[in-house]
Amino acid sequence: MVQRFDAKEIIVKNRSFRFAVAPMMDWTDRNCRFFHRQLSKRALLYTEMVVADAVIHGDRDKLLGFDPAEHPIALQLGGSDPAKLAAAAKIGADLGYDEINLNCGCPSDRVQSGTFGACLMREPQRVADCVAAMKAAVAIPITVKCRIGVDEQDIETALDTFADAVVAAGVDGLWVHARKAWLAGLSPKENREIPPLDYDRVHRLKQRLPDLFVGINGGLKTIADAEAESDKLDGVMLGRAAYHGPALLASVDRVFFGCETADPDPHDIVEAMIPYVEAQLRRGVPLHRITRHMLGLFHGQPGARRFRQILTVEGARRDAGVSVLRAAASAVEEASSLAA
For residue 242, give the amino acid letter. A
From the CB of residue 66, how many other CB atoms can be counted at a distance below 10 Å? 20
Main-chain dihedrals φ then ψ at residue 49, nearest 5 degrees:
-65, 130
What residues contact residue 209 under an 8 Å CB cut-off, 6+ apart?
163, 167
Residues tagged active-site: 106
User: First-to-last CA distance in the chain?
Assistant: 43
Gyration radius from the chain CA atoms: 20
Per-residue pLDDT of the chain (340 residues; tens, 9 = 90+): 333 444 444 444 334 348 999 999 999 999 999 999 999 999 999 999 999 999 999 999 999 999 999 999 999 999 999 999 999 999 999 999 999 999 999 887 666 566 789 999 999 999 999 999 999 999 999 999 999 999 999 999 999 999 999 999 999 999 999 999 988 777 877 877 788 999 999 999 999 999 999 999 999 999 999 999 998 999 999 999 999 999 999 999 999 999 998 999 999 999 999 999 999 999 999 999 999 999 999 999 999 999 999 999 999 999 999 999 999 999 999 998 887 6
Q: What is the DSSP string of 74-93?
A: EEEEE---HHHHHHHHHHHH
Nearest one of 4, 35, 32, 37 to 19, comparing CA atoms: 37
* pTM of structure: 0.92
